[in-house]
Amino acid sequence: MTTVGTELLLDARDISKRYGAVVALRSASLAVRPGEVHALMGANGAGKSTLVKILSGGVRADGGTISVRGRPYGAHSPAEARRGGVVSVYQEPALIPDLDVRSNLRLTATAVEPVRHWLAELGLPDLDVSSMVRDLPLASLRVIDLARALAIEPDVLMLDEITAALPANLTERVLEVVARHRGTERSIIFISHRLIEIGVVCDRATVLREGATVGVVDVGAGSDDRIVRLMLGEISRRAPAVAAGPAGAGARTPETAPRLTARGLSAATRLRDVSFDLYPGEVLGLVALEGQGQDELFDILAGSERPAGGELLVDGAHVSFHHPADAIRAGLVYVPADRAEALLMQRSVRENIALPFSGPVGAWGLINVRGERRKVDAAVRTLQIDTRAAAEVRRLSGGNQQKVTIARWVAGGVRTMLCFDPTRGIDIGTKQQIYQLLRELAAAGAAVLLYTSELKEIQLACDRAIVVFNGRVVAEIPALEADEPTLLRAAYDLKPDEAIPELAVGETA
């Protein structure tokens, strides 16, 4: 059956995809052999999720070729992908909340018995298939979704962060089942941020960076280090762009009072116990792998959600936010990563920047056009926003859009700015401008909290960094020492002195 020509089970070559002006994939290739567990790796925005969507029929590629078992493959929908032998398990389970499990299986034409078998294998032997999906915890849903996909017995099974949201005992069973696929006729594409899992279950790893495949690594001794290096690209070895960065922290005297103090903040999910002080004049970096509680932390700080526990102090006084307006009045302004969450896409740059001015009922009357224009123009100049397409924000580039969300707060004067991954998916030049701006804000006495998924930003923009893992602060690192390997180790909750085990093996070998 297996001839030399069709050795590959799945062969995707030079896949490209653009969304409007944004290039999601430039040239991604992925070659999966039969019977291997193949890791797909890449930092945020590297194009993993786009590639997964293309393979699973969610979106169409603009260019490139895909074949499965030597036959050309192009799916318009997940149903077609399944007929072509490719099944995906997504991060949000593809289960209908208002149907019971059995009906969900029927909807996807999957027999119950094999699913029961796999549920037992995966550690949920007692699951009642007549329970409503809505009533089941997320972890169970992910396992059910996986069991269903296994029962379908596809040629290629794609698992997107399958162990996220799973408790340790289930994670172990899932990894064991995944590993069992090695050496069979079928293959698994395994997407995960957890290097340790990759080392345990995967045979090879394809690494994406900036929309292109940058390398394929045989998983084994020392491979973690190579994978990380490929993911990061050429680590910029240049000194922090702003020399004043660490100096700013040094200028802080012991008697400086913190602008913002969090004590034992917790949320219903993920965020367990986070405490930190944020001082005026500093940019405090926050580093975490995806889903460690940072989203919940920022929601609480921005006034969108109420904490389940802990306390928050602004300038030493207790605060309790019921609405983002409360946070704004306390001087805490929020720049989200997702521009779609912050911008009025059909409105002009001016209206977007001036939006917070109109919030309070007292400002509902006639607008002082001249005063508004002065403030807006100043903010536009500060951020060097390209206003050629200012009539509708959605026509701006991603970088310019992000500048508008920041300009909104700069125009009103910033005391404390909370930035959640503000440079996600924007070009390098704009990134530099944003770091520069954050430094200038801090120099002018503002306090900035910056969560970033790009580790090198810490040294470029921050004075010090705290690392959050599993809902807790696990490390505080001064910017000078916060190089990427150090931060990455801390983010995986490995102590600085203890090397990643596999990595150590690789070095000695």
Partner 1 sequence: MTSVGTGTAERNPWLTRATWRRILRDQPLIPLSGLLIALVIVLQLVQPGIVTASWAGVIVRQAVPLAILAGCQTLAMLTGGIDLSVGAVASMAAFVMATLVNGQGPVVAVLAGLGVALAAGVVTGVGIGVFKVHPLIMTLGMSLVVLGLVAVYQLAMVLSGVVIPDPILWLGSETSFGFLPNSLFLFVPLSAVIVLGLRRSGYGRLLFAVGDNAIAARLAGVRIWQVLIVLYTLSALLAAIAGFLIAGLNKTASPALVESAVLPSVAAAVIGGTSILGGRGGFAGTIVGALILTLLTTLLTTLNMPEAMRQVLFGAIIVVVAAAYTRVTGEA
Partner 2 sequence: MSAATEALGRRRVGVGEAVTSWIRRSPWIVALIGLLVVFFAITKMLVPNYGAPGVQALGISILPNALAAVAQAIVVISGGIDLSVGSMMALTSVVSAVLMKGQSDIFAVGVVLGTLALGVLLGAINGALIVATRVPDIVVTLAMSFVWAGVALLIIHTPGGGAAPWLMETIRGPLVSEWIPRGLVVLAVLVGAIWIPLRRSNLGLSLFAIGSNRLAAFRSGVPVDRMKIVSYALTGLFSSLAGLALTANTGNASPVPGPYTLESIAAIVLGGVSLAGGRGGVVGPILAVAVLYLIRIDLQFIGINPNFGTVVQGVILIGVVMLGSFLALRRVRP
Provide the binding-site residues for partner 1, judged by CB under 8 A.
20-21, 302, 304, 323-325, 328-329, 334, 336, 340-347, 351, 354-361, 363-367, 369, 388-389, 391, 394-395, 397, 408
Q: Does 181 bind partner 2 (CB under 8 A)?
A: no
> Considering the complex, what minimum distance in angstroms separates the CB of residue 79 from partner 2?
3
- Of 408 and 439, nearer to partner 1 (C-beta) is 408
CA atoms of 144 and 365, how far apart (whole Å): 55
Kindly give the pairing relationship between strand 260-266 and strand 317-319: unpaired
Return the DSSP state at 239. P
Could you say which of partner 1, partner 2, none residue 163 binds, taking C-beta under 5 to 8 angstroms by partner kind? none
- With CB cut-offs between 5 and 8 Å by kind, which of partner 1, partner 2, none does residue 92 bind? partner 2
* Closest distance of CB 77 from partner 2, Å: 7
431: Cβ contacts below 8 Å, ≥ 6 apart: 399, 423, 457
Token pair 């797909």: residue: 40
Distance in angstroms (rounded) separating the CA atoms of residues 207 and 40: 6
Q: Which does 360 bind (CB under 5 to 8 A by kind): partner 2, partner 1, none?
A: partner 1
Write the DSSP string, 134-163.
GGS-HHHHHHHHHHHHHHH--SEEEEESTT
In this complex, which beta carbon is closest to partner 2, that of residue 93 or of residue 246? Answer: 93
Residue with smaller CB distance to partner 2, 189 or 383: 189
Amino acid occupying residue 406:
I
Binding test (CB under 8 A) with partner 2, winner from 31, 35, 58, 74: 58
How far apart are CB 342 and partner 1 at their closest, in Å?
Answer: 5
Tokens of 321: 């936010």
What is the biggest distance separating any 2 CA atoms in the chain, rounded to whole angstroms?
Answer: 77
If you write DSSP's letter for every residue of 255-304 in order, what string do you get?
A: TPPPSEEEEEEE-SSS--BEEEEE-TT-EEEEE--TTSSHHHHHHHHTTS
For residues 290 and 341, which CB has a smaller minimum distance to partner 1 in the complex?
341
Q: Which of partner 1, partner 2, none is residue 96 near (CB under 5 to 8 Å by kind)? A: partner 2
Token pair in block for residue 494: 């490995």
CA atoms within 13 A on the CB side of 416: 22
- Rg of the Cα atoms in the chain: 24
Q: How many residues bind partner 2 (CB under 8 A)?
A: 23
Q: Least separation, in Å, of the C-beta of 346 and partner 1?
A: 5
> What's the CA gap between 453 and 44, in Å, rounded?
7
Q: Which does 268 bind (CB under 5 to 8 A by kind): partner 2, partner 1, none?
A: partner 2
- Residues 249-278 vs partner 2: string with x where CB under 8 A? -------------------x----------
CB closer to partner 2, 107 vs 239: 107
Nearer residue to partner 2 within complex by CB, 99 or 179: 99
The CB-of-145 to partner 2 minimum distance in angstroms stands at: 10
Among partner 2, partner 1, none, what does residue 93 contact (CB within 5–8 Å per kind)?
partner 2
Name residues contacting partner 2, limited to 100-139 (CB under 8 A): 103-104, 106-109
Which of 257/325 has CB closer to partner 1? 325
Return the number of the residue (32 or 342) whose C-beta is nearest partner 1.
342
How far apart (Å, rounded) are the C-alpha atoms in residues 141 and 134?
Answer: 9
Quick one: 4 or 366, whose CB is closer to partner 1? 366
CA-based end-to-end distance of the chain: 38
Q: Which does 103 bind (CB under 5 to 8 A by kind): partner 2, partner 1, none?
A: partner 2
Consecutive H or E run containing 464: strand 464-469
Q: Which residues of 65-98 are buried (b: 16+ CB within 10 A; e: fewer)?
A: ebbbbeeebebeebeebbebbbbbbbbebbbeee
Going by C-alpha positions, the residue among 154, 138, 140 that lies closest to residue 189 is 154
- 252/394 with CB nearer partner 2: 394
Query: CA-CA distance, 345 to 435, in Å (whole number)?
Result: 24
Q: How far is the CB of 43 from partner 1 (least distance, A)?
A: 25
Residue 202: partners with Cβ closer than 8 Å, 6 or more residues away: 37, 38, 39, 190, 219
CB nearer to partner 2: pick between 90 and 118: 90
Select 77 or 184, whichever has its Cβ closest to partner 2. 77
Residue 346 interacts, among partner 1, partner 2, none and using kind-specific CB cut-offs from 5 to 8 Å, with: partner 1
Element (H, E) at 454: none
Binding mask 66-105 for partner 2 (x = CB under 8 A): -----------xxx--x-----x-x-xxxxxxxx---xx-
Structure tokens at 36: 């291997």
Least distance between partner 2 and beta carbon 303 (Å): 16
| Residue from 193, 231, 202 nearest 215 by CA | 231
> Residue 243 binds which entry of partner 1, partner 2, none, with Cβ cut-offs from 5 to 8 Å by kind?
none
- Strands (DSSP E) found in 116-259: 156-160, 187-191, 204-209, 212-218
Min dist. Cβ of residue 56 to partner 2 (A)? 8
Distance in angstroms (rounded) separating the CA atoms of residues 94 and 151:
15
Q: Which residues of this chain interact with partner 2, rule CB under 8 A?
A: 56, 58, 77-79, 82, 88, 90, 92-99, 103-104, 106-109, 268
